[in-house]
Amino acid sequence: MKGESKILKTLGKMGPAWIIAADACGPATLASLSIAGATYGYKLLWVVLLSVLFGATAQHLSVKIGVIEGRGIITTTEQRLGPVWAWFLTVDAVLVTLLAALVLMNALSGVTSLVTGIQTPYWGFFFAAIICLILIKGGYRWFEILCKGLIVLILTSFLGTLAFVDLTWTEIAGGLMPNLPGGMDSALMMAAIMGGAVHITIIGMHTYNCNAKKWTRSDLRLAKIDNALSMGGAFGLYSILVFLVAAAVLFPNQIKVVTATDAALSLKPLLGSGAMAIFLLGLWGAAFSTLSPTVLAGVYFIMDRMKWPLYDNNRDRRFIWTVIGICLVVAFGPFLRGGFFLLLPLMLALGLCGTPLILAIILYLLNKEEIVGEDKNSRLLNFLGGMTLLVTILLAMRFVAGRLGFFS
């Protein structure tokens, strides 16, 4: 009985990394993996696996600095490196997060139009009002429960589909070997896949999540378990399953994924004629549940920079007006040009370009013994963190070079 109560107590304290994992398992990652699998087959499997490893590494580094410092990443940067670096990081984080929120609102509005048949960009204002009310009146626990349920639901549907498809194991083995398919599209997709897991918004947000849970240094071991089960486990399985299903179903049939309805065909072996409806409803749920914490991340970045109270502040006018302000901006997301399913990977790739700064800052701070003491990074963690930073920079540079026309 004591053992069971201890396990239940441990599970009850978990949660921060599940919010991050659910955010990572959002519609942008779904779109990126579906397009990559449909376009290149199993060739980019190695990027998918690295994104899981590096995503879990980035989140572990994030929660570690958040717990040790007992504050968010913006205040930590100001206290340790000065206000100039704090402003650089704030501008970087807010701009990338707003871009993500705008594209997510575009996707939410687009899916809603497909499901309801009511084609209007003004869905953005409707959902912005709902999200605004949720953030002002709702609470942390609401997000936690929703995110855990969403990950399980999506994971189960793709796992079921995988049982109905034929996997080409020789090609899967070939996809484990690093390769760089030529052309702009591959650079975009590789950056997007990595950006789904290694992204400044979720890295920064995690420092606030663990403090909202009131974690201390004694909870660092719990944080490892939380991160391993969510980012390493749930997000890892989700990413691999979505990619394998797309590569096994869409690529052999030469289905070019341009819209959400194209990607929905990946679930047809399991769901048949119901694949379209189930996929769109799942995509809608992923977009809605991802948008709320993304907006909240932007609120935290701004409030942290302004030194306003961050937690249990639903009645604080500064919190309320910051939420309202961001929601008003995000409401214009549906007015972005282009199909929302193709905008989602582009958003992740651009987000990856803004991520190296926060990774470099966290790695630097976690190697300062006067700051972290005995919790200084191990050689293994520094190696994984360094590789995460290096690969992030290289993929971002390759994507930018492609956009500038340095290769065709």
Torsion of Cα atoms, 214 then 220 then 221 then 227, to 10° = 80
pTM: 0.92
pLDDT over 90 at 374, yes or no: no
Per-residue pLDDT tens digits for 219-230: 888 888 888 888
Average pLDDT, integer, range 238-247: 93
Tell me which of 1 and 97 has the higher pLDDT: 97
Domain parsing of the chain, residue ranges: 18-177+184-402
pLDDT over 60 at 4, yes or no: no
pLDDT over 70 at 279, yes or no: yes
With a pLDDT cut of 90, the percent of the chain lying above it is 60
pLDDT over 90 at 380, yes or no: yes
> What confidence tier does 278 reach under pLDDT thresholds 50, 70, 90?
confident
If phi > 0 it is left, if psi is from -120 to 50 it is alpha, else beta; for residue 198 that is beta
CA atoms within 13 A on the CB side of 136: 19
> What confidence tier does 1 reach under pLDDT thresholds 50, 70, 90?
very low
* Lowest-confidence region among 249-263, 279-293, 331-345: 279-293
Predicted pLDDT of residue 150 = 62
Tokens of residue 235, six digits? 């997000």
Predicted pLDDT of residue 53 = 97
Average pLDDT, integer, range 200-204: 96
3-state DSSP helix/strand/coil % of the chain, to nearest 5: 80, 0, 20
Task: Compute the distance between CA of residue 98 and CA of residue 45 in angstroms, rounded to an integer.
Answer: 29
pLDDT over 50 at 180, yes or no: yes
> What confidence tier does 280 reach under pLDDT thresholds 50, 70, 90?
confident
Task: Compute the distance between CA of residue 285 and CA of residue 268 in angstroms, rounded to an integer.
Answer: 19
- Report the mean per-residue pLDDT for the chain: 88
Domain 18-177+184-402 has CATH 1.20.1740.10: yes
